[in-house]
Amino acid sequence: MEPKFCTISQSLTRVSVGRSFLYERLADGSIRSVKAGRRRLVDVASLDAWAAALPESQLKQSTEATKGL
């Protein structure tokens, strides 16, 4: 069974985006998160839904950027 929440670091790896970009999506409400004590945990379903809703071209550009193309 997959966890309902993941850490910021796990989220970055999961969707291959930068830390600042992820925090911007959290701030604008595109991706939901919760505070657990001092930790910020990202809602996995929200993160996956956000990634699935991205247009194909954005995913391709992101992949090319990470490969250094």
- Please report the pLDDT score of residue 35 as a whole number: 96
Do residues 30 and 38 make contact, with C-beta atoms less than 8 angstroms apart? no
Mean pLDDT of 1-5: 90
Instruction: Give the residue among 37, 36, 9 at the shortest CA–CA distance from 23.
Output: 9
Which residue range forms the structural domain that includes residue 63?
5-67
pLDDT the model gives residue 61 = 59
Whether residue 2 has pLDDT greater than 90: no
Output the six-digit token pair for 39: 């930790």
Q: Which two tokens stand for residue 28?
A: 């604008």
The stretch 2-28 carries a mean pLDDT of 95
Structure tokens at 22: 């992820």
Domain count, the chain: 1
Torsion over CA of 43, 46, 48 and 51, rounded to 10 degrees? Answer: -130
8 Å CB contact between 43 and 33: yes
User: Tens digit of pLDDT for each residue in 19-60?
Assistant: 999 999 999 999 999 999 999 999 999 999 999 998 876 555
